[in-house]
């Protein structure tokens, strides 16, 4: 079954608490069979993962990474619920991977989409709109083009929405979800700072919104 409806995804999410993308993938993998999709999510450890999102995460680690040529450096804070989990090899490896990703050419500037200043979004939207109008396309087509380009621009800026540098088949958010599901704790990328030789400081403030929380 190739046509999985939004309603099917919604019902599976409500039944399992798993993320939207995970629910959709489970339904696709199981040709729309609801019960098999639930078993699939349980096997993957993703069922119930979003239900942990509201739990406080005040422990964790601060990790640093400096590129081999000493031209890029990163500081990142990733939080867990308990210091026990924060000291597990899996959590430590996750934090190192997040630091590595931030140092990569992906160069995120914000943790989550809601942190991107509206003024910046308005600025690029105006640029894309002006470019699209030059094409002479109808207004409804221009609107879709501008929306798509603006969304892609914002996605490129946001850590959680970027393809993970070590496995681009998943986003950084999906990586966090997988680790959170395995460790049975809420995991949050709280903030980061990225230093590149000769450039102004790039980084984020606290990430305390739903989009910035690994369920």
Q: Which fold has domain 117-156?
A: GTP Cyclohydrolase I; Chain A, domain 1 (1.10.286)
Rounded Cα gap, residues 113 and 160, in angstroms: 8
CA dihedral 121, 124, 128, 131 (to 10 degrees): 160
Quick one: DSSP state of residue 26?
H
> How do the domains of the chain map onto residue ranges?
6-47, 55-113+158-214, 117-156
Cross-strand bridge partners of residue 195 = 73
Rounded Cα gap, residues 115 and 138, in angstroms: 32
Locate 211 and state its tokens: 């989009």
Q: Is-contact 191 79, C-beta < 8 A?
A: no
Give the list of residues 6+ apart from residue 192 with CB closer than 8 angstroms, or none: 74, 75, 76, 77, 98, 99, 102, 108, 111, 159, 203, 204
Instruction: Quote the Cα angle for 126-156-79, to 5°.
Output: 125
Tell whether the model's pLDDT for residue 2 goes beyond 60.
no
At 17-30, the pLDDT tens digits run 677 788 888 899 89
CATH class for the region spanning 6-47: mainly alpha
Specify the pLDDT at position 208: 39
Instruction: Quote the Cα angle for 81-82-87, to 5°.
Output: 120
At 109-156, the pLDDT tens digits run 999 998 999 999 999 999 998 888 887 777 888 888 889 999 999 999
Tell whether the model's pLDDT for residue 207 goes beyond 60.
no
Locate 118 and state its tokens: 């509206």
CATH class for the region spanning 55-113+158-214: alpha beta
Cα dihedral sign for 114, 59, 43, 15? negative
């Amino acid at each position: 079954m190739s046509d999985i409806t939004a309603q099917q995804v919604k019902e599976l999410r409500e039944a399992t608490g798993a993320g939207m993308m995970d629910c959709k993938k489970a339904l696709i993998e199981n040709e729309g069979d609801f019960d098999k999709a639930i078993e699939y999510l349980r096997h993957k450890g993703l069922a119930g993962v979003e239900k942990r999102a509201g739990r406080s995460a005040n422990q964790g680690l601060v990790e640093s990474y400096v590129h081999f040529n000493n031209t890029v450096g990163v500081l990142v804070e990733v939080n867990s619920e308990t210091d026990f989990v924060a000291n597990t090899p899996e959590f430590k490896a996750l934090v190192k991977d997040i630091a590595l990703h931030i140092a990569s050419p992906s160069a995120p500037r914000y943790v989550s989409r809601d942190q991107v200043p509206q003024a910046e979004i308005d600025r690029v939207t105006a640029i894309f709109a002006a470019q699209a109008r030059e094409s002479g396309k109808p207004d409804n087509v221009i609107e879709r083009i501008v929306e798509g380009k603006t969304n892609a621009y914002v996605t490129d800026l946001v850590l959680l929405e970027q393809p993970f540098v070590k496995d681009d088949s998943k986003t950084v958010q999906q990586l966090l979800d997988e680790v959170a599901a395995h460790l049975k704790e809420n995991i949050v990328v709280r903030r980061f700072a990225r230093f590149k030789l000769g450039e102004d400081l790039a980084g984020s403030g606290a990430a305390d919104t739903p989009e910035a929380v690994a369920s």
